[in-house]
Homo-oligomer: A and B are copies of this chain.
Amino acid sequence: MPGPRRFPAPQSGLVVPRFGGVATFMRLPLFDDPAELDIALVGVPWDGGTTNRPGARHGPRQMRDMSTLMRRVHHVSGIAPYTLARIGDLGDAPVNPASIDDSLARIEAFFARLHRAGTVPLAAGGDHLVTLPILRAIARRRKLGVVHFDAHSDTWDTYFGGHKYTHGTPFRRAIEEGLIDPRRLVQIGIRGSLYSRNDMTWAHDQGIRVITIEEYFALGVERVIAEARRVVGDGPTYVSFDVDGLDPVFAPGTGTPEIGGYSSHEAQRMIRGLRGLDLVGGDVVEVSPPFDTSGGTALTGVTLMWELMCQLAERVAARRRPARRKPRRR
């Protein structure tokens, strides 16, 4: 049904209560074929790269559940994403809890098919290693800039005597594989005790712009946004949001909490501050429901997906219109 489905719409909470119905992302219809969508909401239920407390494999389901609290129009920007782009729930990427290698291959293949269809991915993790196969799928031909929200740089080299693929290493691997331009990578909120004084040396040597939480508080949100925009510039940019960048009171349901982060309101403002950038995809990762049975972390995570989805929808619409002028930042 290409006609009616061109702009799929979520069920309304004024007609069917929000706690009713099968839980899909944002109460949108389910799709099998990415070609029917401009933006695909996808779960990646996998935490095989987790070296500490597991559970992020359960993230997509709880995020779908809490997403049914979302409505249709952004209350600040006025963006109505479902009128700008064909957005739907594409289900979960296939994974294998018994194999890292197999999972990385399956996830990459899923997102590669999506990418070939010209669809923009917005993923819900899973642990942070899932960002790597997504980047492999969408950044083969051009290096991407990345706005990376996190408490950890995730640029460690190896764990446990040489193991290269964990949720602590994806950004190092992505840079080594030429998927990310490190000078267009900005990391916001880095903190937490270190294994050694040299932990951040590699990151700095690559030219990554690391904004520690201390610098974050010193600069203030507006200047952090400006700096992030400066770093990624006009080129194609991916947004990766690890919920442990937030203070743990806003995201207790995560595997490696570090006290002293930003608030969810500040995170909302930062994502809104990315308006008008050439955004090509994104993810929200490390929501681990077993450590937050109340669902508060998932609610926060999926609200940040909503914020990012609004930006992506506007960008998709802008690309469609040839002579469109650049949207103003709020």
B-binding residues in A (CB < 8 A): 12-24, 30, 43, 45, 47-55, 57-58, 60-61, 64-65, 69-76, 78, 80, 89, 91-92, 94-100, 102, 156, 159-161, 163, 165-166, 190-197, 199, 212-214, 217, 247-250, 252, 256-261, 263-265, 268, 290-294, 296, 299-300, 303, 306
Contacts and interface: CB of A to CB of B under 8 A. Distances in A.
B18 A52 contact: yes
Given A20-B45, A21-B91, A22-B64, 9 more contacts: A18-B52, A54-B57, A71-B192, A75-B191, A75-B193, A96-B161, A98-B100, A102-B160, A293-B294
B194 A73 contact: yes
A19 B259 contact: no
A299 B192 CA distance: 12
Q: Output the residue of A13, A14, A18, A296 with the most chain B CB within 10 A.
A: A14
A22 B23 contact: yes
State how many copies of this chain the complex holds: 6
B17 A51 contact: yes
Contacts of A263: 247, 260
A161 B98 CA distance: 11
A18 to B, nearest CB: 6
Q: Output the residue of A75, A212, A259 with the most chain B CB within 10 A.
A: A259
Nearest to A294: B252
Contacts of A99: 100, 160, 163
B257 A299 contact: yes
Contacts of A256: 69
B53 A159 contact: no
A89 B92 CA distance: 19
Contacts of A50: 97
Contacts of A290: 53, 55, 290-291
Contacts of A195: 12-14, 71-73
Nearest to A75: B194
A168 to B, nearest CB: 9
